[in-house]
C-alpha cells in the first residue's frame, strides 16, 4: 500500500522540491481514496504519486522532475505506467530502503529528521527500470520490496506534457482497456474517397462488460501512440502548449480536450491557468489536418470524404468511459485509390455537345481548331446548378468562371492552338450542361438571355379562368413559346426546383400543354418586355407556367418556372 506514518511523512516532505506545500498523502483506504480523487486539487503541485489515479503534469526541456511514492510492505504488487504526450521522455524508476524508524520496526527515540533525511539521500537507490522514447511504457512487478520509490523524468527535445499512473492493486484496478490478442486495425475496403476499418473488440468490453468506446484518429503525417499525443497535436488554443507557472504545473483529471465527459466544476476547482498570465509565450500553431471521431462500441467504421491517391494514417483508441483512460491499438496506414483517368471529349467546331458530370465530379474536353483563327467562342448552357469552367490554351490558363444559365466567353485565338476545357460539377448533385466551341463569331447556337429570367404574374389581373404574365426579352429577335401544366394544390417550391432542368426543350412537352409561340425583341432594352394572358383555365386551380426561348440554331433555354393559381370565386 502507498501508506505513510507521520515521521516518514515529514521526512518525505523535506525531500520534496522547496515550492511544494505540505499536504496529506493519499492512501488506498477505498472510502478515503474515493473522497480524495473527487477533490480535483488534492494532488495539485505535488511530487507524490497517488495510488490508483492517473496524473498529468508538465516538463520543461532539460529540466528533470522527480516523483515519490512509498511501498511499506514487501512482496507488494506494483505497476507504473508513463505516457509521453508530444515529445520523447527519458525516465527511470528506482527504490531505496526505508530508514528503520520510517518502516515502523525500530524502538526507542526516533532519529532527528535531518539525520533520517541524510540517511536516505546519501544512499544510491537501486534502479529497477529505465526507458527512453515516446512509447507508452510500463513497469510491472508481482512482488516489489518495501521502500521509497523515485520516478525521474526528463525531456531533452522540448517542453512537454506527460501522464503517470501507479497502483499497488493492478489486478483489481485495470483502468486501461485491455487489447485483444490481435490488436491490429484491418483495412477491409479501399476506395478513392473512403477507407473501411475493422478491429477486434477490447476484452474489457466483451468479457468484463465495462463501458468502452472507440475513437478513430485520421491524419496524413504519422501514427500516434496515445490519445495524449493526439491531444497535443489537436490543441488549437495555446493554453495546452503554454508552459505553466513553476510550482503550479499540475492539472489532474483533465480530459476535456478529448471531448470525454468531465466534471462541470473541474475547471473552477483547478483554476485552469491562462497563458497570458503564466509561462513562456509561443506563437499560435497552424491548424493541423487531423481528425478524431468517437463512434461508440462499434468495431467497424468507414472513413469518408478523403482525397484520392493520398496516404492516410489511422489510429484506434479504446477508451474506458468510467476512468477516461485509453489504450492504443496498433495503427495502420493506407493510400486511397487514384481518380479514374478522365476520358477527354473532342469538341467539333460549331457543334453542341451534351455533358453529364457526377456530383463533385469533373469532365475534360479538348478543342483543336483545324484552321488559323483570330478568336474562339465558348458557349455554355448549365441545365441545373452552377458549374465551374476552366479553359487552358497550350497549358496556359485563360479562363476560370462559374456558369449558371447561359454564358458566352470569347477568347483571343492563336495559330495551331489547342484548348483544354475542365468542367467541375456542383457539390449539391449531378450537373448537366451543353457546350459549344467555335472559331466563327457569327455561329450562335444558344439564344441570348436577359439577366432576369423570372416570369412575373399580375395578381390583380387574375380571374377564375385566366392569368396574365410578363417576362423580359433581349435586343435579339427570338422565338418564345409558353406552356402550362395543371398541378396539385400541394405542389411546392421543392418540387418545382427538381423540374428546373433548363436544357429540356418544348419537344419534351405534351402538345396539349402548349399555349402559344411568338417572336419578340426590342432595340430599346428597357422596353424589351412582353405580356401574355393565358385563358381557358379552371377556377381555383394551380398551374405551372414555362417560357422557352428558342435560338436560331434550334436550341432552347427555359425561363424559371412560375406557379400561378386562378381565383376560386369571381
234 compared with 197, residue with greater pLDDT:
197
Question: Tens digit of pLDDT for each residue in 404-445?
Answer: 888 888 898 888 889 999 999 888 888 889 999 998 867 667
Q: In Å, what is the CA distance from 559 to each residue of 383, 425, 484? A: 11, 21, 13
Note whether 371 and 417 are within 8 A (CB).
no
Q: Given this model, what pLDDT does residue 553 score?
A: 74
Q: In Å, what is the CA distance from 95 to each residue of 11, 19, 20, 144, 145? A: 16, 24, 22, 10, 9
Question: Tens digit of pLDDT for each residue in 199-223?
Answer: 999 998 777 778 899 999 999 999 9
Q: Given this model, what pLDDT does residue 14 score?
A: 42
Q: What's the pLDDT band for 43 if we cut at 50, 70, 90?
A: very low
Torsion of CA 30, 31, 33, 38, to 10 degrees: 140
Q: Given this model, what pLDDT does residue 245 score?
A: 41
Question: Tens digit of pLDDT for each residue in 236-294?
Answer: 444 333 444 443 333 333 333 333 333 444 333 333 333 333 333 444 455 567 899 99
Q: Could you give the maximum distance between any two Cα atoms of the chain, in Å?
A: 121
- Measured between alpha carbons, how far is 545 from 458 in angstroms, rounded to an integer? 13
> What is the CATH code for 455-565?
2.60.40.10
pTM of the model: 0.49
- Measured between alpha carbons, how far is 502 from 442 in angstroms, rounded to an integer? 24
Question: Tens digit of pLDDT for each residue in 485-515?
Answer: 999 888 776 666 666 777 888 888 999 999 9
Backbone angles phi, psi at 493, to 5 degrees: -65, -30
Q: Given this model, what pLDDT does residue 497 score?
A: 65
Q: Given this model, what pLDDT does residue 443 score?
A: 64
Q: How many CB atoms lie within 10 A of CB 44?
A: 19
Note whether 318 and 204 are within 8 A (CB).
yes
Residue percentage of the chain with pLDDT more than 70: 76
What radius of gyration, in Å, describes the C-alpha atoms of the chain? 38
Q: Lowest mean pLDDT: which of 204-213, 329-338, 442-451, 517-526?
A: 442-451
Q: What is the mean pLDDT of the segment spanning 548-562? A: 86
pLDDT value at 543 more than 80? yes
Which residue do the cell numbers 522547496 mark? 18
Q: What is the mean pLDDT of the segment spanning 117-124? A: 52
- Measured between alpha carbons, how far is 350 from 536 in angstroms, rounded to an integer? 42
Q: Given this model, what pLDDT does residue 440 score?
A: 83
pLDDT value at 15 more than 70? no
Q: Given this model, what pLDDT does residue 170 score?
A: 83
Q: Given this model, what pLDDT does residue 264 score?
A: 40
Q: Lowest mean pLDDT: which of 69-73, 89-93, 334-338?
A: 69-73
Q: Are strands 344-347 and 362-367 parallel, antiparallel or unpaired?
A: parallel
The tally of CA atoms less than 13 A away on the side-chain side of residue 315 is 22
Q: Where in the chain is the domain with CATH 2.60.120.680?
A: 53-98+125-173, 345-438
Q: Where in the chain is the domain with CATH 2.60.40.10?
A: 176-237+288-340, 455-565
Q: Given this model, what pLDDT does residue 35 score?
A: 42
pLDDT value at 552 more than 80? no
Cell of 96: 531505496
Note whether 71 and 170 are within 8 A (CB).
no
Which of 101-115, 335-349, 463-477 shows the highest mean pLDDT? 463-477
| N residues, the chain | 570
Q: Which helix (H) or strand (E) holds 32?
A: helix 30-38
Q: Given this model, what pLDDT does residue 100 score?
A: 61
Q: Given this model, what pLDDT does residue 101 score?
A: 53
> What CATH superfamily is the domain 345-438?
GOLD domain (2.60.120.680)
CB burial of residue 78 (10 Å; 0-12, 13-18, 19+): buried
Q: What's the pLDDT band for 48 if we cut at 50, 70, 90?
A: confident
- Which of 3.40.50.10860, 2.60.120.680, 3.20.20.370, 3.40.50.10260 is the CATH number of 53-98+125-173? 2.60.120.680
Q: What is the mean pLDDT of the segment spanning 518-528? A: 88
400 compared with 444, residue with greater pLDDT:
400
Q: What's the pLDDT band for 359 if we cut at 50, 70, 90?
A: confident
Residue percentage of the chain with pLDDT more than 90: 37
Which residues on adjacent β-strands are paired with residue 60?
A: none
Mean pLDDT of the chain: 78
pLDDT value at 396 more than 50? yes
pLDDT value at 195 more than 60? yes
Q: What is the mean pLDDT of the segment spanning 37-55? A: 64
Of 208, 197, 218, 249, the C-alpha closest to 46 is 249
pLDDT value at 40 more than 60? no
Q: What's the pLDDT band for 446 if we cut at 50, 70, 90?
A: confident
CATH topology for the 176-237+288-340 domain: Immunoglobulin-like (2.60.40)
Q: What's the pLDDT band for 119 if we cut at 50, 70, 90?
A: low
The tally of CA atoms less than 13 A away on the side-chain side of residue 207 is 8
Amino acid at each position: 500500500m502507498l501508506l505513510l506514518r507521520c515521521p516518514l511523512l515529514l521526512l518525505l516532505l523535506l525531500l520534496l522540491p522547496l515550492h511544494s506545500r505540505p499536504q496529506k498523502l493519499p492512501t488506498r483506504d477505498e472510502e478515503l481514496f474515493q473522497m480524495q480523487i473527487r477533490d480535483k486539487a488534492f494532488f495539485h503541485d505535488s511530487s507524490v504519486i497517488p495510488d490508483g489515479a492517473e496524473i498529468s503534469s508538465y516538463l520543461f526541456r532539460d529540466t528533470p522532475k522527480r516523483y515519490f511514492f512509498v511501498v511499506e510492505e514487501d512482496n507488494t504488487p506494483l505497476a507504473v505506467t508513463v505516457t509521453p504526450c508530444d515529445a520523447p521522455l527519458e525516465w527511470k524508476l528506482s527504490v531505496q530502503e526505508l530508514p528503520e524508524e520510517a518502516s515502523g520496526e525500530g524502538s526507542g527515540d526516533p532519529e532527528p529528521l535531518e539525520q533520517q533525511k541524510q540517511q536516505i539521500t546519501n544512499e544510491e537507490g537501486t534502479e529497477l527500470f529505465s526507458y527512453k522514447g515516446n512509447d507508452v511504457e510500463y513497469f510491472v512487478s508481482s512482488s516489489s520490496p518495501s521502500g521509497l520509490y523515485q520516478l525521474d523524468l526528463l525531456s531533452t527535445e522540448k517542453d512537454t506534457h506527460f501522464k503517470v499512473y501507479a497502483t499497488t492493486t493492478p489486478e483489481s484496478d485495470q483502468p486501461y482497456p485491455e487489447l485483444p490478442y490481435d490488436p491490429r486495425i484491418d483495412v477491409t475496403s479501399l476506395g478513392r474517397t473512403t477507407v473501411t476499418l475493422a478491429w477486434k473488440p477490447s476484452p474489457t468490453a466483451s468479457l468484463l462488460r465495462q463501458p468502452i468506446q472507440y475513437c478513430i484518429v485520421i491524419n496524413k503525417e504519422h501514427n500516434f501512440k496515445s490519445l495524449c499525443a493526439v491531444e497535443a497535436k489537436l490543441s488549437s488554443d495555446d493554453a495546452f502548449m503554454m508552459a505553466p507557472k513553476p510550482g503550479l504545473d499540475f492539472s489532474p483529471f483533465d480530459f476535456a480536450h478529448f471531448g470525454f465527459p468531465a466534471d462541470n466544476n473541474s475547471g473552477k476547482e483547478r483554476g485552469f491557468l491562462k497563458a497570458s498570465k503564466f509561462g513562456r509565450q509561443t506563437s499560435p500553431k497552424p491548424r493541423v489536418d487531423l481528425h478524431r471521431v468517437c463512434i461508440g462500441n462499434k468495431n467497424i467504421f468507414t472513413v469518408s470524404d478523403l482525397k484520392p491517391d493520398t496516404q492516410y494514417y489511422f489510429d484506434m483508441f479504446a477508451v474506458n468511459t468510467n476512468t477516461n483512460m485509453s489504450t492504443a491499438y496498433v495503427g495502420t496506414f493506407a493510400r486511397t485509390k487514384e481518380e479514374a483517368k478522365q476520358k477527354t471529349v473532342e469538341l467539333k467546331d460549331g457543334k453542341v455537345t451534351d455533358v453529364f458530370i457526377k456530383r463533385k465530379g469533373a469532365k475534360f474536353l479538348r478543342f483543336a481548331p483545324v484552321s488559323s483563327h483570330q478568336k474562339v467562342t465558348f458557349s455554355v448552357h448549365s441545365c441545373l446548378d452552377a458549374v465551374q469552367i476552366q479553359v487552358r490554351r497550350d497549358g496556359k490558363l485563360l479562363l476560370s468562371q462559374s456558369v449558371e444559365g447561359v454564358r458566352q466567353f470569347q477568347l483571343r485565338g492563336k495559330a495551331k492552338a489547342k484548348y483544354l476545357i475542365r468542367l467541375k460539377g456542383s457539390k449539391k448533385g449531378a450537373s448537366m450542361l451543353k457546350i459549344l466551341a467555335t472559331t466563327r463569331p457569327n455561329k450562335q447556337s444558344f439564344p441570348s438571355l436577359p439577366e432576369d429570367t423570372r416570369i412575373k404574374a399580375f395578381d390583380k389581373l387574375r380571374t377564375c379562368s385566366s392569368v396574365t404574365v410578363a417576362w423580359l426579352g433581349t435586343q435579339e429577335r427570338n422565338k418564345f413559346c409558353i406552356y402550362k401544366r395543371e398541378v396539385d394544390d400541394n405542389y411546392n417550391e421543392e418540387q418545382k426546383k427538381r423540374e428546373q432542368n433548363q436544357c429540356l426543350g418544348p419537344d419534351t412537352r405534351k402538345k396539349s400543354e402548349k399555349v402559344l409561340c411568338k417572336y419578340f425583341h426590342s432595340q430599346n432594352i428597357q422596353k424589351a418586355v412582353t405580356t401574355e394572358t393565358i385563358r381557358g383555365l379552371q377556377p381555383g386551380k394551380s398551374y405551372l407556367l414555362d417560357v422557352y426561348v428558342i435560338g436560331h440554331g434550334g436550341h432552347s433555354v427555359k425561363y424559371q418556372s412560375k406557379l400561378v393559381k386562378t381565383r376560386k370565386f369571381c
